[in-house]
Amino acid sequence: MPNNRNEFPMNKKNIIIRTIALAILCTVSFADTKKKPNVVFIIVDDLNDWIGVMGGHPQSKTPNLDALANQGVLFTNAHCNAPQCGPSRASLLNGLYPKSTGRYFNNPKRMPFYGDQPTQGITSPNAPKNPFVFHRHFKAHGYRVVSGGKIAHGNSKEITNNVDEYLARPADT
Residue range 117-162, pLDDT digits in tens: 555 556 667 777 777 788 888 888 899 888 877 665 555 555 567 7
What number of CA atoms fall less than 13 Å from residue 111's CA on the CB side?
11
CA dist 65 and 100 (Å) reads 33
Within 10 A of 102 (CB to CB), how many other CB atoms are there?
Answer: 19
Q: Of how many residues is the chain composed?
A: 173
Residues 81-94, mean pLDDT to the nearest whole number: 83
Structural domain spans, the chain: 52-167
What are the beta bridge partners of residue 166?
147
CA dist 15 and 28 (Å) reads 20
**Does residue 79 have an active-site annotation?**
no
What average pLDDT does the structure give for the chain? 74
**Does residue 153 have an active-site annotation?**
yes
Residue 146 phi/psi, 5-degree rounding, is -120, 135
Is the predicted pLDDT of residue 173 greater than 60, yes or no? Answer: no
Across 51-55, 99-103, 106-110, 155-159, the highest mean pLDDT is recorded for 51-55
- 51, amino acid identity: I
Query: CA–CA distance from 115 to each of 102, 108, 124, 149, 154 (Å)?
Result: 13, 8, 18, 29, 21
CA dist 135 and 163 (Å) reads 7
Would you state the pLDDT for residue 101? Answer: 78
Is the predicted pLDDT of residue 30 greater than 70, yes or no? Answer: no
CA dist 23 and 172 (Å) reads 56
φ/ψ bin of 9: left (φ > 0), alpha (ψ from -120 to 50), beta (otherwise): beta
Q: Which of 26, 57, 80, 85 is catalytic?
A: 85
Residues 17-44, mean pLDDT to the nearest whole number: 70
Across 27-36, 62-71, 102-111, the highest mean pLDDT is recorded for 62-71
Burial category of 135 from C-beta neighbours within 10 Å (exposed 0-12, middle 13-18, buried 19 and up): buried
Residues 92-120, mean pLDDT to the nearest whole number: 68
CA dist 41 and 137 (Å) reads 14
Question: Percentage of residues in the chain with pLDDT exceeding 90?
Answer: 3
Q: What is the pTM of this model?
A: 0.59
Across 40-49, 54-63, 153-162, the highest mean pLDDT is recorded for 54-63
DSSP letter for 82, please: S
